[in-house]
Structure 1
Amino acid sequence: MSSPLLDEPSATDAGAAPPVSGPLAREALALAAFDHVVSHAPGYRARAGQREMAAHIAHTLSGVTLGDGAVASDAALPARGIAVVQAGTGVGKSAAYASTVIPLALAQQKRVIISTATVALQEQLIAKDLPALASALPEPFTFALAKGRGRYVCRLKLDQLSGGDAASADLFDADDSATDTSAAGVAAQAVATAAAAARWQERGVQYARWAEALDGGTWDGDRDRLDEPPEGGLWAPVAAERHTCTARHCPSYNSCSYYQARARLAQAKVIVVNHDLLLSTLGLHALPAPQDCYLVFDEAHHLGSVAQGQFTASMDLMRSQWLDKLPRAVDEVASAIEYRPTIDVASFAKELKSAQSELARLAMQRIGALPAWAQLTGAERPAHRLVAPERRAEGAPVVERFEGGVLPADWREVVTRMHAHASSLLKVFEALATQLKATARENPGDAARCAKLYSRLGALAPRLQSAQETATYWMQDAGEGRPPLAKWLEAGVSHGLVTLTAHACPLQPGSLLRNHLWNQVRAAVVTSASLTTCGSFDHFLHESGLAFDGAVAAREVQSPFDHARQGRLVVVQTAADPKDVDAYTREMLAALLVDLREVSRGALVLFTSRAQMRQAQALLERGEHGALRERVLVQGEASRTVLLRRHAERVADGQPSVLFGLQSFGEGLDLPGELCEWVFITKLPFASPSDPVGQARADWLKSQGRDPFSELVVPATGARLLQWTGRALRTETDEAVVVCYDARLLRQSYGRRMLKGLPPYRLQRRVDGVLTDA
């Protein structure tokens, strides 16, 4: 939904020049640029797979000209082109796509957006790959990294809060307060209020330092450029969030860190961004329009999950005091600009709060898995910030899913009321926002006051919008041939507080990407080291919305590594079946601890759950494993950067070092040479069976007479396994062993399907310590 509170000014391109004439000329230009880079850039060398990738990209995009009314000059070639490339590790895919796509864009005076999934790849592109390419190409180009506005400071907020004024802080703080009216509750609240005031005084000192650094030019307002990354609670009140920003109507617009970064971005020919930001800004004009630039999606296997995350709606059902603040905020803003809302805001906010409380009551009754005190509502429930210490047990949240996305009739009535009242209140917010911008535009001297009033609304708008969007999803039913939405509740206890949230999510990421992204794209490269799974592109193409796109040309480019010579994949046969979780885990961990004693340099152990990793840690704490425990670095004990630095230092000192990690360590971790000579996979990385979206997708496929295990689960697991095994060999001189303790990889037909998608390692089976070729 677009509203005055959300819209941003456009980022425009330079004027277009006549394109390079004809597909053959464009293809030749792109390949010549690639060959020039390989022969002239320091450190580059010819790689057959890299040139194969470059040639595929050049040919696929050669029939595309960008700009209004542009069509292919050769009717045999499409006016759209999407080159899908799986490039095995070591191909050098970033150089292949950058050295072909950028010259094509420069020839048409167009721009390139390179979208990635990880910060590590963004940093590599900005610090290494693009500078090398810019120095090697005959025609220079500029490049920049695009970040979300929340990474930049809002100068207006910073100035208002730099004095540590708690009253000003209320403008940006919509957090709830406890509502216990007992003597003890009032006393506790008084203490909390005093503590909050002291905390704001301390924050004000830090904000004043940041303001001084901005004024002195020693800081540019980018959160990532601070010497010490600030905690979320310190940064959030001064972040340049969209809902609290009047853009060019703000008196601090000319000195705004975010818009200064946007201005630099507008001059860049190549923009590096992440998938989340690119998808979240579609239609907001924060980046060049997809149809008017060349797009590159690296680490593209993440696109489906990112799309689902972007279109997931959620609503907090436990905290509602922000609705008590809403009428006062609207009244203050409306009075200040002499605007009269068309509805009784106080009444609508009260009704919305009543509906939210009713939904919370229904949810607690349905879940029925938290302590009895947590199921009380209203005046009966103790203040949710004052949970007794003995009741602060925290663990996995309780998830309750609505099968088929169908809500009970009494729930629908409550959700419909929520939607109606939230929608009406949002219209008031939009009308006020429009009036505030108009006032600031017509009376520049009043801009500061209008911006402050706008922030008053913006602090509450995200919660109101979440309520409206979640209710909208919850009201939707499945249509003819259209899958239902996943709808679920999640409850638990966090930091002594009861949590309860309602969620909804579309089931088909491919449809989301097709409808919101691909229908705007003219020319794109889609690449990763793991696009095929079980030996086919089918799963990725369906998940990414490209399965039936006639513009797609897919190619698999093999890694230059000699996997059979450089690596081994050892599958360990356990007596316990992996489905017998307790027995299998005991046996697997016993074998793992024996194997870890063979590690002389670097190793990586990948676990499928945090509980499994904790069991391994507990075993290491025992006396007989004390020496082994000293070798192990566990994800979560320190930041990823610190852990990797310690790991590298140990290996450099000739000491064995073992990293314990979860899914995030199974991908994007680059540990060449001695840093990773062993990869231990504790179990096939199936997704959690409790995932509500996965369960909903499986149910819908079954209702269509399809097999979700074969169609979804096996390909998705095969893709993760390819990523996990890919941590082993990172250069053409590496040698490593991958050990998988899950014998289903060899025993089951689906395991053999997964093996088809893995590199051709020498495959061995280990039974009772004896190795044989499999």
Structure 2
Amino acid sequence: MTDSIPLPSLASNAATPPHPNPAATPEQVAQWQSAGVQAFEQVVSQTPGFRRRQGQHDMAELVAHTLARGDLGEHAEPQRCIAVIQAGTGVGKSAAYAAPAIALALARKTRVIIATATVALQEQLMLKDLPALARSLPQPFAYTLAKGRGRYVCLLKLDRFAGTGAGEDDWFEEERQALSQGQQEEEDMRRQHLFERMAHLIATGQWNGDRDLLAEPPDPRDWSVVAAERHTCTVRHCPRFKDCSYYQARAQLAESQVIVANHDLLLASLNTKALPDLSNSLLVLDEGHHLPAVALDQFSSSMDLSNLRWLDKAPKTMTEVAGRLGLEVTQDVHTLVSELKAALTTLARMAMDMVWAHTGRNSHGQGQDGTLRFANGVLPESLLESVEQIRTIASALSKSLQTLGTDIKAVAKDDPSLATMCAQQFAQLGSIAPRVGSLVSTSELLLEHGEQPLAKWLQAQSGNGFLTMTAHACPIVPGDLLRQFLWSQVRSAVVTSATLTSCGSFDFFLREAGLLGKPEVQTLEVSSPFDYARQGELQVRATQASPSDAAAYTREMVRLLMQDLESVQRGALVLFTSKAQMQAAREAIPGHLLDIVLVQGDQSRTRLLQAHTKRVADGYPSVLFGLQSFGEGLDLPGELCETVFIAKLPFASPSDPVDEARSEWLKSIGREPFMELVIPATGVRLLQWTGRAIRTEDDQARVVCYDKRLTQTAYGRRMLQGLPAYALKA
């Protein structure tokens, strides 16, 4: 495929035009919209076996309407258009949005960004859907998968570590201390061989530096020392810039009309411009129900209060880097680091005492893990001084790092012969900068107070012989973040998923996504073409024990489940709400059923599904035990999943700090979090879980739920209204 339309570079695409663009005429909008619909119809007519579905056609029309009407580029008062579309399983939503979106991008001489939440959907788009569209659409287009910088190798780092194995790198210091001398030498040799092999693959053209294209993906800790990072990159001043896999991928993005990315990269790029400017692009957000959670994760922050060895080495690193290039460090970093470490150590000690007091444990007891959330987002006065000190000192240290980094780049610019040394020294600073940055951002959030509180908490975790204490801060309303940072830039966008409604309404998602009440938003629900009443049934098996009595309920539910497993003939899926619940069921499996059960966590997800598929194909029963991650995105058509057993209504853990903080805030302003948040969120998860049963128009399956609240409570019946129209057997 070749790019037949000249497009500006990513950088110039993000620039503001000197003069406002004229608004599109009604005739232009109509032409663009017509082109989008025609592209979809052409794909349908040219694809063998494609069935024309009215719902899919309705979705394509709304996509074309939406992406044709938004004003791209510089406008005094731009018109914005956003469509929120729930498309049930089997609708074929990727064709319904991709065909018109690509046609509109070509007609409007811009790009379309398709952002997903999962790797599986990205692979489907890149390997199946987009190649098929390229064969069907008359005008050629180029498409590219955009990845974060950290998915690519830094050639400069690889050159350095290929000879040493990173055995002396600070990143592995904590790990090395837990190993014997012999084990350390063995690990150093293993890493050296790994990096030498990677360097050989690069040098011989067998690998382009993309981590995902390695035959054997490296351990994340090994990869971390050679991964490309913004903090360690001098960009064009780097001597390996022309060969850099990340910037080669960026150049490919600039030549593509269709860019596939994930939600994390999309939100992270809002400030870094790693993707084209959203005000001058079309946007499709598939798997859109994930967007609010991704937003909270993107804007949260945490700092490690316990592992401070890196900080001890920071002054030496900075002064040595400056000295090698004849530069000066702008501040007394030895004093700064000494004061910063003292403040962090003091905060860590007080934090540990608070967490142990809260959990009823002490430093001599077992199981030191625990979480302490601060009510109403207010830090105790005893912590304020230390946190304020951390903010002030870390900010000064961060400024000194930035100044030194700027000076290093200036040296590389003035004297290209020093470019290699400058890049290497800049990378040394880059190992410190993100850690200092997390201290600054977290301390600032911990001290922030406004009308809407933040979730703030301390967490103690033990593992590998170490106890780690971290401090966390996170906003609690994703809609506010998305309104401020995403929708303020977007002009034409489509948000779609199979699960955007809850209890029969879009309101919950619209509120969470920051779109409720916005006049530019239009919603559409496209029903699945499946005949759920004919193809499946929903059974609710009531227990005597109340689900609120967890121990008694689990015992009774497990007993009923074991009885039901006896009747499984082919494939089945059991979804649990907790590891403890799943373990209780596992321990109760009778001997003659042990061989048919596959449990999440025993093997990788891929291997579990392969084993399950083979067993069913060979004519034997097979039952998958899984948690929330198995309740979404698992595609097991036909005999692979003839029954979905739901152990309990999938309420989220009540101890999640962010959920707790949000509920607390809603109560304080007179709102009811259970009905406003908990029930709608559970309704979405239940819709996802029941959606594992019917995957094609030929499937016959049943859903068995052991939680009587689904039919015996008002909120359960609300959730029931939002589920597919299964034949109900209570």
**Shorter-normalised TM-score: what interval?**
over 0.9
Equivalent pair of 2:315/2:337 in contact (CA under 8 Å): yes
Instruction: Provide the rounded CA distance (Å) in 2 between the counterparts of 1:339 and 1:735.
Output: 73
- Paired position in structure 1 for 2:290: 302
Alignment of 1:434-445 (within 5 A): 434-445=406-417
Query: What do the CA deviations read for 1:441-460 (whole angstroms, capped 9, x no partner)?
Result: 22221111011111111111
| 2:484 maps to amino acid | N
- Paired position in structure 1 for 2:610: 645
Alignment partner of 1:143 is 2:172:
no
Alignment of 1:284-299 (within 5 A): 284-299=272-287
**Secondary structure of 1:498's match?**
strand
Equivalent pair of 1:66/1:108 in contact (CA under 8 Å): no
- Paired position in structure 1 for 2:500: 531
Alignment partner of 1:721 is 2:686:
yes
| 1:491 maps to amino acid | A
- Paired position in structure 2 for 1:115: 115
Match of 1:46 among 47, 52, 72: 52
Equivalent pair of 1:164/1:202 in contact (CA under 8 Å): no
Instruction: Provide the rounded CA distance (Å) in 2 between the counterparts of 1:452 and 1:578.
Output: 59
Equivalent pair of 1:473/1:504 in contact (CA under 8 Å): yes
Q: 1:371 to 1:30 in 2, by over 3 A?
A: closer
Equivalent pair of 1:374/1:498 in contact (CA under 8 Å): no
Query: What do the CA deviations read for 1:500-527 (whole angstroms, capped 9, x no partner)?
Result: 1110100100001111111000000000
Match of 1:594 among 563, 568, 578: 563
| 1:435 maps to amino acid | D
Alignment partner of 1:576 is 2:545:
yes
Query: What do the CA deviations read for 1:334-353 (whole angstroms, capped 9, x no partner)?
Result: 22233323321011111111
Alignment partner of 1:339 is 2:311:
no
Equivalent pair of 2:304/2:471 in contact (CA under 8 Å): yes
Query: What do the CA deviations read for 1:561-605 (whole angstroms, capped 9, x no partner)?
Result: 111111101111100000000000000001011111111111111
Instruction: Provide the rounded CA distance (Å) in 1 between the counterparts of 2:358 and 2:32.
Output: 64
- Offset of 1:161 from its aligned partner? 0.8
Alignment partner of 1:413 is 2:385:
yes
- Paired position in structure 2 for 1:27: 33
Equivalent pair of 1:570/1:739 in contact (CA under 8 Å): yes
The aligned length equals: 716
Instruction: Provide the rounded CA distance (Å) in 2 between the counterparts of 1:601 and 1:190.
Output: 47
Match of 1:468 among 420, 440, 452: 440
Task: For structure 1, list consecutive stretches of 5 or more residues without a partner in the other structure.
Answer: 1-8, 72-77, 179-187, 377-390, 766-774
Alignment partner of 1:433 is 2:439:
no
Query: What do the CA deviations read for 1:171-222 (whole angstroms, capped 9, x no partner)?
Result: xx345559xxxxxxxxx96975664354223311221111111111111111
Instruction: Provide the rounded CA distance (Å) in 2 between the counterparts of 1:245 and 1:445.
Output: 17
- Paired position in structure 2 for 1:5: none
Alignment partner of 1:519 is 2:525:
no
Instruction: Provide the rounded CA distance (Å) in 2 between the counterparts of 1:150 and 1:22.
Output: 41
| 2:192 maps to amino acid | G
CA RMSD after TM alignment = 2.2
| 1:51 maps to amino acid | H
- Paired position in structure 1 for 2:84: 84
Equivalent pair of 1:14/1:109 in contact (CA under 8 Å): no
Equivalent pair of 1:603/1:676 in contact (CA under 8 Å): yes
Match of 2:535 among 548, 562, 566: 566
| 2:110 maps to amino acid | K
Instruction: Provide the rounded CA distance (Å) in 1 between the counterparts of 2:464 and 2:70.
Output: 55
Instruction: Provide the rounded CA distance (Å) in 1 between the counterparts of 2:69 and 2:156.
Output: 48
Equivalent pair of 1:22/1:63 in contact (CA under 8 Å): no
**Secondary structure of 1:110's match?**
coil
Query: What do the CA deviations read for 1:259-294 (whole angstroms, capped 9, x no partner)?
Result: 112211221111111111111121211110111111
| 1:493 maps to amino acid | S
- Paired position in structure 2 for 1:247: 235
Alignment partner of 1:208 is 2:196:
yes
- Paired position in structure 2 for 1:751: 716
Instruction: Provide the rounded CA distance (Å) in 2 between the counterparts of 1:142 and 1:574.
Output: 56
| 2:693 maps to amino acid | A
- Offset of 1:370 from its aligned partner? 9.6
Instruction: Provide the rounded CA distance (Å) in 1 between the counterparts of 2:378 and 2:699.
Output: 53
- Paired position in structure 1 for 2:704: 739
Equivalent pair of 1:312/1:504 in contact (CA under 8 Å): yes
Equivalent pair of 1:394/1:494 in contact (CA under 8 Å): no
- Offset of 1:49 from its aligned partner? 0.8
**Secondary structure of 2:272's match?**
coil
- Paired position in structure 2 for 1:366: 354
Q: 1:469 to 1:194 in 2, by over 3 A?
A: farther
Alignment of 1:99-498 (within 5 A): 99-164=99-164, 166=166, 169-170=168-169, 173-174=170-171, 177=174, 192=180, 195-368=183-356, 375=363, 397-477=369-449, 479=450, 482-498=451-467
Alignment of 1:599-618 (within 5 A): 599-618=568-587
TM-score computed with the length of structure 2 as normaliser: 0.95
Equivalent pair of 1:163/1:201 in contact (CA under 8 Å): no
- Offset of 1:649 from its aligned partner? 0.8
Q: 1:262 to 1:707 in 2, by over 3 A?
A: same
Equivalent pair of 1:166/1:197 in contact (CA under 8 Å): no
- Paired position in structure 2 for 1:382: none
TM-score computed with the length of structure 1 as normaliser: 0.89
| 1:502 maps to amino acid | A
- Paired position in structure 1 for 2:474: 505
**Secondary structure of 2:644's match?**
strand
| 2:703 maps to amino acid | V
Instruction: Provide the rounded CA distance (Å) in 2 between the counterparts of 1:61 and 1:370.
Output: 53
Equivalent pair of 1:39/1:45 in contact (CA under 8 Å): no
Equivalent pair of 1:12/1:288 in contact (CA under 8 Å): no
- Offset of 1:695 from its aligned partner? 0.5
Query: What do the CA deviations read for 1:127-179 (whole angstroms, capped 9, x no partner)?
Result: 11111011100111111111111111111111111112657x53xx345559x
Instruction: Provide the rounded CA distance (Å) in 1 between the counterparts of 2:686 and 2:218.
Output: 36
Equivalent pair of 1:174/1:460 in contact (CA under 8 Å): no
Q: 1:474 to 1:295 in 2, by over 3 A?
A: same
Instruction: Provide the rounded CA distance (Å) in 1 between the counterparts of 2:586 and 2:203.
Output: 49
Alignment partner of 1:712 is 2:708:
no
Instruction: Provide the rounded CA distance (Å) in 2 between the counterparts of 1:166 and 1:266.
Output: 35
Equivalent pair of 2:66/2:494 in contact (CA under 8 Å): no
Task: For structure 2, list consecutive stretches of 5 or more residues without a partner in the other structure.
Answer: 1-8
| 1:292 maps to amino acid | N
Alignment of 1:60-99 (within 5 A): 60-69=66-75, 79-99=79-99
Equivalent pair of 1:361/1:375 in contact (CA under 8 Å): no
Alignment partner of 1:698 is 2:663:
yes
Q: 1:598 to 1:117 in 2, by over 3 A?
A: same
**Secondary structure of 1:295's match?**
strand
**Secondary structure of 2:72's match?**
coil
Query: What do the CA deviations read for 1:512-567 (whole angstroms, capped 9, x no partner)?
Result: 11111110000000000010001111110010111132211111111111111111
Match of 1:552 among 513, 517, 521: 521
**Secondary structure of 1:507's match?**
coil
Instruction: Provide the rounded CA distance (Å) in 2 between the counterparts of 1:442 and 1:643.
Output: 57
Q: 1:251 to 1:747 in 2, by over 3 A?
A: same
Match of 2:599 among 609, 613, 634: 634
- Paired position in structure 2 for 1:182: none
| 2:164 maps to amino acid | G
- Paired position in structure 2 for 1:540: 509
Instruction: Provide the rounded CA distance (Å) in 2 between the counterparts of 1:39 and 1:365.
Output: 68
- Paired position in structure 2 for 1:181: none
